[in-house]
A and B are shown apart, each in its own frame.
Chain A
Amino acid sequence: MLFLQQMLNGLLDGVYYLLIALGLSLIFSLGGIVNLAHGAFYALGAYLTIVFSPYIGFSGSFVAAPVAVALIGMAIERLLFRRFYRADPILSLLLTFGLAMCAEQALRWVFGAPPLSYSMPRELRGQIFVGDFVYSYYRTLLIGVAVVCVALIWLLLNRTSFGRVVRAGVQNPDMVGALGISLQPYMTSVAALGIGLAGLAGVLLAPIYAIHPAMGQEIITPAFVVCVIGGLGSFWGVVVAALLVGLVKGFMVAIDYPAGSTAAIYLMMLIVLLVRPRGLFGERIQRFE
């Protein structure tokens, strides 16, 4: 029974990674930019929640903070990312690495190095009991929000004309151009969407995690592992990998060896890379071959 509980909890944990990893994967597949600064946008989302909450509450911040982060993401895409789409990936890696450090130091300057406090709104507190299993009420909401986001993004990519252009752009940007469609606005929208998702994750996790300038670093590594396992650029790959990473963590706790949970995730990544170098569901994308 305890074993099942832990596996289920692990699965649910995987959902948080999903929000971060999905944005990473989207930005990579369209522009070829590995966004090391993604964690910084997550941290920004959490800090903006603290800034906005006294005026518009948690529910207001839930909308305003991700939008603000997405707008910043848009500006960064227009001013910086755009110059690196056709460049050597190592250059965009250096760019986003620098961006991540600047963002972290900026948070330290503005908000100070010590962690800041943020409490869960009173009406969202409490637990849910299902037989022997106890779960936090807030986390069930969090998971619901994440699932809705993932579903909306899937619909956007697969059932709209916007999505059709984006998917074509992933496979063959030159052909899209030849058809007379400018990819630029699509690139900007996808960057805003991906970065906004990171901001949303920051808002959602602010009530349960410590909020400090380096919090982005904590989440970016597992998110990358998820992308690599799932296969960069694959929507369902990222979804499956995020849940798998959560499951492995849950499994390590369930077999009473939580100390090895981090190592187990890397081991899984190693095995996946040995067997399937493109990741579980990685597609063959012509321009990256």
Chain B
Amino acid sequence: MDKILRPTRRGLIKGAGSAALAAGIGMPAISRAQADVIRIGHLTPRTGFLGPLGEFAVMAVDLAVEEINGAGGIAGRKLEVLKEDSVNPQTASVKAERMIERDKVMAIVGEISSASCLTIAQVADRTKTLFINTGGNSDALRGKDCKKYMFHIESQNSMYVKTAGRALLQQGLISGKKIYSLTADYAFGHDLTNVAKRFFAQNKGELLADDLVPTDATDFSGYLLKIRNAKPDVVITNLAGNQVTNFLKQYAEFGLSQPAAGFGFDTALAWAAGKDNFAGTWPVVWHHLLDTPGSKKFVAAFTKKYGKPPENQAWGDYMMMKILAQSITETKSTDSAKLMEHWEKGAKFDILKTREGYFRASDHQMMHEMYTITALPAAQVKNQWDLFTSSAPVPGPNESLEVIATTPEEASCKFA
């Protein structure tokens, strides 16, 4: 036994040598600042339960860089994006710091986890470097935890709840109805259920129960039996990631008749559930069936490159690269303060939807249209991607884009 574990001198030297070699390889060779290159850092989870969505973000960034550089770069300079797996909040902040301090990126783009958004934003604020969140939903990031150098192209939880809520109100499923909800037992779920409860109270919905679901739960049979006994009029989920897919598959399996809906969603989850299991009404920030010339072009380019349509997560990261390129050209600067000033003044951007979007100065949230998607009956589904129909954009054409966002009473952001 001891023989195996006792290191030999030669073994030690070999080990140390290969460790040093590995460290050397791991170090990017681009630590010298180059004047003709604009460098942006991209951080997003690529492993763990958010990894599947992160993969779409990375594909979208690659496509955007290809398009931008193919068209001559940004004001003649080449765009270079450093991409890394953010893993968890601690690693995310260490990597953000290294990208800013050592690799001299002008901005950091990405994320899906709200917890990692917060740690990256702290680094961004300290180093006065822009961080644009493309996937973290929590209202707290735009409220009590808001940061001057953090912007959000991803919608906040309130926008998701008010968008889906509108559709549910129209279907007569909230006012005077009994609601049963399932909530993921971590920061995102708790933030979302608070917003949801406020919405139910405002619209006279009766919440029968709100069950917390541990993040490692895969089996919903116990919850489904409880729901069946409680006889609600509608089942609402505040879940994320694979749990939504598990829920959808088992909801179909147990044959519950109540309409299901949710306040957090990604189109990849519908694809994973498949046409036989996908059901209900869900909010999304964007989807691949949008009938605008910009979206059609993006979907075509993405599908050509990767053989499948872009997920909604792909839209945020793709869009943000384009917005940065456009803003750098317009302001002739890569300076974070200058870009922030430009955005806070209400610069408008074509974000592949019917109306242009802009960052709200008070909390740096992108104001833009959202959609609810509704599952098609299995018999009407033509392929594995187009499983749903879309609502018209929310808010409608005559409304302010801000009607679905938090009001100053609901969340207040004070930039330090």
Q: Give every chain B residue within 8 A of A6 (Cβ-Cβ).
A: 222, 225-226
- The 0/1 profile, CB within 8 Å of A marked 1, for residues 47-64 of chain B is 111011111100000000
Q: Is residue A91 contacting chain B, with contact meaning CB distance below 8 A?
A: yes
Kindly state whether residue B119 has any CB partner on chain A within 8 Å.
Answer: no
Residue of chain B at shortest CB distance from A138: B253
> Given A88-B1, A117-B272, are A212 and B52 also a contact pair (CB < 8 Å)?
yes
Q: Which residues of A contact B213 (CB under 8 A)?
A: 258-259
Residue A114 contacts which of B212, B249, B311 (CB distance < 8 angstroms)?
B311
Complex Cα distance, B51 from A270, in Å, reads: 32
Which 8 A-B pairs give the minimum distances between C-beta atoms?
A117-B274, A115-B272, A259-B212, A253-B222, A210-B245, A113-B55, A119-B276, A210-B242
For the complex formed, measure the closest distance between the CB of A81 and the CB atoms of chain B, giving whole angstroms.
16
With both chains docked as a complex, state the minimum distance between the C-beta of A11 and any C-beta of chain B, in angstroms. 11
List the interface of chain A (C-beta within 8 A of B): 2, 5-6, 9-10, 12-13, 16, 87-88, 91, 112-120, 125-127, 132, 134, 136, 138-139, 207-212, 214, 218-219, 221, 249-250, 253, 258-259, 261-262
Shortest CB–CB separation between residue B326 and chain A, in angstroms?
29
User: Contacts A117-B273, A212-B52, A250-B222; is A259 near B249 (CB within 8 Å)?
Assistant: no
Partner of B185, one of A9, A13, A207, A259: A259
Determine whether the beta carbon of B216 is less than 8 Å from that of A262.
yes
For B223, the chain A residues whose CB sits under 8 A away are 253, 258
Q: How far is the CB of A154 from chain B (nearest CB, A)?
A: 26
Contacts known (A2-B229, A262-B216); A114 close to B52, Cβ less than 8 A: yes
The smallest C-beta distance from B375 to any residue of chain A, in angstroms, reads 13
B30 contacts chain A at the CB level, 8 A cutoff: no
Q: Which B residues are in CB contact (< 8 Å) with A9?
A: 221-222, 225
B-chain residues with CB within 8 Å of residue A118 when the two chains form the complex: 274
- Which chain B residues (285-323) contact chain A, with CB distance < 8 Å? 311
Specify the chain B residue showing the minimal Cβ separation from A137.
B253
The majority secondary structure among interface residues of chain B is: helix
Bound together, the chains give a CA A91 to CA B222 distance in angstroms of: 39
Bound-complex Cα distance A209 to B49 (A): 14
In the bound complex, what is the Cα–Cα distance between A5 and B249 (angstroms)? 21
Of B214, B225, B268, chain A has the most CB atoms within 10 Å of the CB of B225
B272 touches which of A132, A134, A211, A214 (Cβ 8 Å): A211
C-alpha gap A214/B216 in the complex (Å) = 12
- Please, which residues of chain B bring their CB within 8 A of the CB of A113? 46, 51-52, 54-55
Measured between beta carbons, the chain B residues less than 8 angstroms from A134 are 225, 228, 254-255
A261–B246 alpha-carbon span in the complex (Å):
18
CA distance in complex: A92, B100 (Å): 41
Q: Given A6-B222, A253-B226, A258-B223, does the pair A127, B242 have CB atoms closer than 8 Å?
A: no
Contact B56 A114 (CB under 8 A): yes
Q: How far is the CA of A250 from the CA of B219 in the complex (A)?
A: 11
Complex Cα spacing A212 to B53, Å: 12
Does B199 lie at the interface of the complex (its beta carbon under 8 Å from any beta carbon of A)?
Answer: no
Kindly state whether residue B233 has any CB partner on chain A within 8 Å.
no
Give the Cβ gap from B308 to chain A, nearest Cβ, in Å: 8
Given A117-B277, A258-B213, 18 other A-B contacts at CB below 8 A? A2-B226, A5-B229, A6-B222, A91-B4, A112-B55, A114-B55, A115-B271, A117-B271, A125-B253, A136-B250, A136-B254, A208-B249, A208-B253, A212-B52, A214-B49, A218-B216, A221-B216, A259-B185
**Given A6-B225, A9-B221, A261-B217; A115-B242 close (CB under 8 Å):** yes
Chain B residues with Cβ below 8 Å from A219 are: 218
Residue numbers in B under 8 Å from A221 (CB-CB): 216
Q: Which of B177-214 contact A (CB under 8 A)?
A: 185, 211-214
- For residue B5, which residues in chain A have a CB less than 8 angstroms away from its CB? 88
Residue of B nearest to A105 (CB): B47
Interface assignment of B329: CB less than 8 Å from any CB of chain A: no
- Name the B residues within 8 Å of A208 (CB-CB): 246, 249-250, 253
With a cutoff of 8 Å between Cβ atoms, the chain A residues found around residue B90 in the complex are: none
Given contacts A115-B272, A218-B216, contact A127 B229 (CB under 8 A): no
Asked if B69 is at the interface of the complex by the 8 Å CB criterion, the answer is no
Q: Which residues of chain A have C-beta atoms less than 8 A from B249's C-beta?
A: 207-210
Report how far A212 CA is from B73 CA in the complex, Å. Answer: 37
Q: Compute how far the CA of A119 lies from the CA of B278 in the bound complex, rounded to whole angstroms.
A: 10
Given contacts A112-B55, A115-B245, are A258 and B274 in contact (CB under 8 A)? no
Collect the chain A residues with CB atoms within 8 Å of residue B221's CB.
9, 12-13, 136, 139
Closest chain B residue, CB of each to CB of A263: B214
**A9 to nearest B CB, angstroms?**
5
- By a CB distance below 8 angstroms, the chain A residues around B214 are 258-259, 261-262
Residue B384, interface by CB 8 Å? yes
B64 vs chain A, min Cβ distance (A): 19
Set of chain A residues within 8 Å of B211, measured between Cβ atoms: 258-259
A16 to B221, CA, bound (A): 13
Q: Find chain A residues with CB under 8 A from B48 CB.
A: 214
Q: How far is the CA of A16 from the CA of B219 in the complex (A)?
A: 10
A125–B185 Cα distance when bound, in Å, is 30
User: How far apart are B196's CB and chain A's nearest CB, in angstroms?
Assistant: 17
* Complex A-B: 19 CB contacts under 8 Å: A9-B225, A13-B222, A88-B1, A114-B55, A115-B242, A117-B271, A126-B255, A134-B254, A136-B253, A136-B254, A208-B249, A209-B246, A210-B242, A210-B273, A214-B49, A214-B51, A258-B213, A258-B222, A259-B213
**B293 → A minimal CB distance (Å):** 27
Q: How far is the CB of B26 from chain A (nearest CB, A)?
A: 17
Is A88 a contact partner of B277 (Cβ separation < 8 A)? Answer: no
By beta carbon, the residue of chain B nearest A262 is: B214
Across-interface contacts of A91 in B (CB, < 8 A): 4
A10 CA / B223 CA spacing, docked (Å): 11
Q: Closest approach, in angstroms, between the C-beta of A231 and any C-beta of chain B?
A: 24
B219 and A13 contacting across the interface, CB-CB below 8 Å? yes
Report B251-263 CB contacts with A as 1/0, cut-off 8 Å. Answer: 0111100000000
In the bound complex, residues from chain B placing their C-beta under 8 Å from that of A117 are: 271-274, 277, 384
Contact partners of B252 in chain A: CB under 8 A: 120, 125
